[in-house]
A and B are shown apart, each in its own frame.
Chain A
Amino acid sequence: MQTNRRDFIKMAALAAATGMSTWALTSFARASKLPIGRVVIVGGGYAGATAAKYLRMWSLGSIEVIVVEPNRQFVSCPLSNLVLGGSKSINDLTFDYQLLKANHGIQWVQDQVTAIDVSAKKIQMQRGELSYDRLIIAPGIDFIYDNLPMLQSEEAQKQVPHAWKAGWQTVNLRKQLEAMPDGGVFVMNVPAAPYRCPPGPYERAAQVAYYLKGHKPKSKVIVLDANAEIISKKGLFTKVFNDMYAGLVDYRPNNAVVAVDVAGKTVTTEFDVVRADVLNIIPPQRAGKPAQMAQLNNIDKRWCEVGFLTYESKLATNVHVIGDAVSAALPKSAHMATNQAKICANAIVQLMVGANPDPAPVFANTCYSYVSDKSAMHVANVYRYDAAKKIMVSAEGGGVSSAPSEQEGVYAGAWANNIWSDVLT
């Protein structure tokens, strides 16, 4: 282990001195040396896949990386609301992991994690177990059905999909919308914050309204928001609902879902009973199951507390948590998940060669929402580590678009194509 570590440092120094390409170095390291350590990553979404790539890249191939992911394909949540609007198909948002694995020498296990033993530094899967030097848990979200037990079954979710993890539920919800007669009512909710993708539910309402405007103008979308007001891009979405989709969107704040009659497609909130033709309930969320298995979701029994220099859990050493599962004053966005993955990977590479992680990480978040097939608007911020508060805080200059535009729709498309390529190649 010691020898390998020294060799890696020598190689890195040589690379710096000679301008030798990272690619050549990586191949050299891969061909000739034992790894300086093993990182196991649970989850191959935006966070996990990014961490895998950057760990391999920045360690010049000297860290062994194994990803455990149950799904064979990556399906992007960003842009999946456009499937409901009708301008994208789910097949435009679906990719495999072949290039990522091949380009970076990442080992891949298609399996489900069943147990995590942080003291023995081992994870158990359905087929076998793996030991690690460091573990990254990138589990995404899990839905909380404590107060909505009627929605827990697969059968109920066929009737009332959440479509909050892109995939077949997204396709199902689009089909229901297509089959809805003109004059029908699409009812959806917004769970109390924090949840995955703060502007996402409002973007969804706009996408459904966009489809209704073009195809079923006598219909409407009712938005039942558990929050007191629109929690992201408020001014922009208010204008979109009132002007662009006047008469099509009925937005109701302070309307947390209390119960759902699945067969009758009826929602009871604190104030209303609403009957739907198509019903989309997005349940409240918490850190994904692998984080729960390791008992790392200590904040409100939902999210995982980490340090923001390394994303190491506050509860378990050598275990890092990244992405939506993290408790932070940061939006649970795809761009943010990749940022956390990169800071975590950067820190792990440093720690494994006995060096210090970046003491003051900085990253940017750009989040676009499409309000039609072509028009989008952003919220963008730089976030900077605050050494006194030990958290990431937003830097000056952040904010939102003045109005949605087709120019930003083009940029939103470029964002998607670039982030997919960054995460998956």
Chain B
Amino acid sequence: MIVCAAETALTVSNVHIRSLAASCAACHGTQGNAVSIGKVTDSTAVLAGASKADIISKLQAFKSGERSATVMHRHAKGLSIDEITGLAEYFSQQVPRASAILTSQKLRVDHAN
């Protein structure tokens, strides 16, 4: 019964997509909220709250080679159509939030290495 309830709460597909989507965070921020870096052109795309259709068409264009890219074609080509749709749905449902660059600080003298 517990298993049933859990499966209702999060489908297999949701569990698969949330960790795949989390892999995009290295460039596109947690849940698609990329940090804004000075000039807009220096920042990666904010995916949170983007339109599902738009994400699908861009990823498909990267996948087919119709749209040129520096890096995204490598990722799009490795994704299935279902994953592209799942990612587009996931990111379109995320709430966009302003995300600033993390502030760095002075290295402490007692740091080990």
Contacts and interface: CB of A to CB of B under 8 A. Distances in A.
A96 to B, nearest CB: 6
A417 B37 contact: yes
A358 B19 contact: yes
A114 interface: no
B20 interface: yes
B104 A95 contact: yes
Contacts of B108: 72-73
A338 B6 CA distance: 25
Contacts of B70: 378, 401, 405, 407-408, 411
A195 to B, nearest CB: 16
Which of A13, A73, A346, A418 has the most chain B CB atoms inside 10 A of its CB?
Answer: A418
B74 interface: yes
A360 B42 contact: no
B35 to A, nearest CB: 5
Nearest to B80: A362
B27 A366 contact: yes
A398 B73 CA distance: 9
Contacts of B67: none
A417 B26 CA distance: 8
Interface in A148-171: 165-169, 171
A54 B2 contact: no
Interface in B4-30: 5-10, 12, 15-16, 18-20, 22-30
Contacts, number: 201
Contact of A71 (B6, B9, B34, B112): B112
Nearest to B7: A355
Given A361-B16, A398-B74, A339 B23 contact: yes
Interface stretch (A124-132, A260-268, A316-324, A380-388): A380-388
A229 interface: no
A299 interface: no
A414 B2 contact: no
Contact of A167 (B18, B20, B73, B107): B107
B34 A414 contact: yes
Contacts of A58: 18
Contacts of B75: 364, 366, 380, 382, 397
Interface residues of B, number: 55
A418 B28 contact: yes
Interface stretch (A4-12, A202-210, A230-238, A276-284): A4-12
B71 A358 contact: no
Contacts of B89: none
Nearest to A344: B19
Given A169-B113, A366-B71, A418-B25, A346 B6 contact: no
B113 A364 contact: no
A418 B27 contact: yes
B43 interface: yes
Given A73-B111, A90-B107, A422 B12 contact: no
Given A358-B19, A381-B78, A21 B44 contact: no
B110 interface: yes
B101 to A, nearest CB: 5
B52 interface: no
Contacts of A72: 108, 110-111
Which of B24, B34, B43, B104 has the most chain A CB atoms inside 10 A of its CB?
Answer: B104
A167 B111 contact: yes
A422 B9 contact: no
A346 B23 CA distance: 12
Nearest to B72: A380
A395 interface: yes
14 contacts: A21-B95, A94-B104, A95-B105, A167-B112, A168-B113, A354-B2, A355-B6, A361-B19, A362-B20, A382-B79, A384-B78, A405-B70, A410-B42, A418-B34
Given A362-B78, A419-B27, 14 more contacts: A6-B5, A73-B107, A93-B104, A166-B113, A167-B111, A346-B15, A350-B15, A354-B2, A364-B75, A382-B77, A395-B77, A418-B26, A418-B44, A425-B102
7 closest A-B pairs (Cβ-Cβ)?
A397-B77, A382-B78, A395-B78, A167-B113, A12-B9, A363-B23, A355-B6
